[in-house]
Amino acid sequence: MNEDFKIIILAAFDQDAFPNKAMADIHGKPMIQHVYESAKGSGASEIVIATDSARVGMVAEDFGATVCMIVDDNLTGLSRLAEVADKMRWGDDTIVVNFPGDAPLTPSSIIQQVADNLELHKEADCAALYSMVALDVAEKESTINLIVDNNEYVIYMSRRPIPNQVSDTYTVSEYRCYIEINAYRAGLLRIYRNLPESELDWAENIQELKLLYNGMKIHAAEANSLIGQRASTIEDIEKIKMQIAPNR
């Protein structure tokens, strides 16, 4: 078990889609605190909440979290993770797990799993997780699907079900649904900012495709637990409240 890894919880959200999402109340605590407490169970050596909101930053410091303020509004995704790694002065070999700030039901075991997978697969540049789902889930607009080779390295990722079913003699029974919890080495995050752009990323809006386009290797494994309901809408908060114990 690898305990020498870091977690970055990104709490920088589209304010037009769900204003103040990180501060949504769940049984008397802001959602970001529930996410932080899930991360603490993973055994990570350091957990950082990265946010562009002064309010979220102050609240996070009040419940004991380390906070890194994101000041460049032009940065997104992996580039934001790189900014945090730079500010925290983590070495290039440091394993960094990104943990979505809107996934309070995530079991800490899968955070540990993805960090362990990257540590185990030295030739991988990134480690990812997936769950097996039926076609109706794979077809949803919010789903990202992936396919792997016989060594469990990602071949491609798409917002469409892959592989595409055309054969009359073989039926695809399940699809690999990408879970957006990855492990990276800090050096890769820094390299990412200068990699050539990818038309695949532009077309699919999946930034990991930029890694594949530039020859990086992503190892993918089936998650040992489900990530649970994510808070994409205000209505999702009510669903999450029903699934989180009031005394948590």
Q: Which residues does 222 contact at the CB level (< 8 Å), separation at least 6?
A: 129, 130, 131, 132, 176
Q: Give the per-residue pLDDT at 3.
A: 62
d(CA 33, CA 101): 9
CB 189 within 8 A of CB 87: no
Residue 185 has pLDDT above 80, yes or no: yes
Q: How far apart are CA 132 and CA 56, in angstroms?
A: 34
pLDDT at residue 24 tops 80: yes
Backbone angles phi, psi at 92, to 5 degrees: -60, -30
pLDDT, tens digit, for every residue of 78-136?
889 999 999 999 999 999 999 999 999 999 999 999 999 999 999 999 999 999 999 99
Q: What is the CATH number of the domain that holds 172?
A: 3.90.550.10
Q: Per the domain annotation, does 210 fall within a domain?
A: yes
- Residue at 95 is within a domain: yes
The number of folded domains in the chain is 1
Give dist(CA 192, CA 244) in Å, integer.
Answer: 36
Q: What is the pLDDT confidence band of residue 204, given thresholds at 50, 70 and 90?
A: very high
**Is 220 contained in some domain?**
yes
Share of the chain above pLDDT 70, in %: 95
Instruction: State residue 168's pLDDT score.
Output: 87
Whether 73 is covered by a domain: the verdict is: yes
Task: Give burial (CB, 10 Å; 0-12/13-18/19+) of 53.
Answer: buried
Structure tokens at 37: 């407490």
The pLDDT score that the predictor gives to residue 8 is 97
Give the pLDDT of residue 234.
86
Q: What three-state secondary structure class fits 155?
A: strand
Asked whether residue 248 is domain-assigned, the answer is: no
Q: 9: number of CA atoms within 13 Å, CB side?
A: 30
| Domain interval for residue 189 | 5-243
Residue 119 lies in a domain: yes
Cβ atoms 3, 108 nearer than 8 A? no
